[in-house]
Amino acid sequence: MTAIPFNNSYTSGTVSTVWQGLTDGAYTIYDNEGSSGANATNYGFLYNGYAALGIATPGSTTYKNLCPTGYHVPTDSDWNKLVIFIDSGADTITSITTQSLTAGTLMKSTSALWNVGFGTISGTNTSGFSALPGGYRYSDGSFGYVRNDAFFWSATEYANVGTAWSRGLSLNNGGVYRSNN
């Protein structure tokens, strides 16, 4: 197994041409914190789509897997099955965006790490999924939505090379959203 490189290349207010130009797997910690910072401790790592897809480093035939042995990044089909299991009325066939209006609430943890306040939908975690709002890293290297949103890659590439299907849960509603990034 080959290690996935750590990449915290970003200065607030600038574009990270390093992160933006990556064509292989990498991971980071929200807001460029170190591995002992609160974001790493609370939310873990943020991976780019190449790491989730298991794409090899240029010139290598060794594919990187960010999951422990015996586990895998869920495919788009795996995500669809999970959403249907939680909400039997979910639309996982025709919906490109909103798959369920209620499954997200059941998947979100009850943790105070969610920025719960007026107008937000608290999680019940009745599914046992325990999603935390780790936010995400934009393609330009900046970060967004920690404490408000949870995003999860799939291992299924979208029609365009370099993009993959993902799922999102939001603080503002109880939905599960499918998109490609």
Look at 176 and 117; give whichever has higher pLDDT. Answer: 176
Does pLDDT of 1 surpass 60?
A: no
The predicted-structure confidence for 121-165, as pLDDT tens digits, reads as follows 889 999 999 999 999 998 888 899 999 999 999 988 888 666 889
Cα distances from 118 to residues 7, 111, 115, in angstroms, run 36, 16, 10
Residue 62 tokens read as 């060794």
d(CA 22, CA 27): 11
Q: Which helix (H) or strand (E) holds 106?
A: helix 103-107
Torsion, Cα 80 85 87 90, to 10 degrees, reads 30
d(CA 92, CA 79): 9
* The pLDDT value given to residue 32: 87
**Mean pLDDT for the stretch of residues 23-46:** 91
Break the chain into its structural domains and give their ranges.
17-180
d(CA 117, CA 4): 37
d(CA 26, CA 172): 29
Would strands 164-170 and 46-47 be described as parallel, antiparallel, or unpaired? unpaired
The predicted-structure confidence for 47-92, as pLDDT tens digits, reads as follows 998 888 886 656 665 666 778 888 889 999 999 999 999 999 999 9
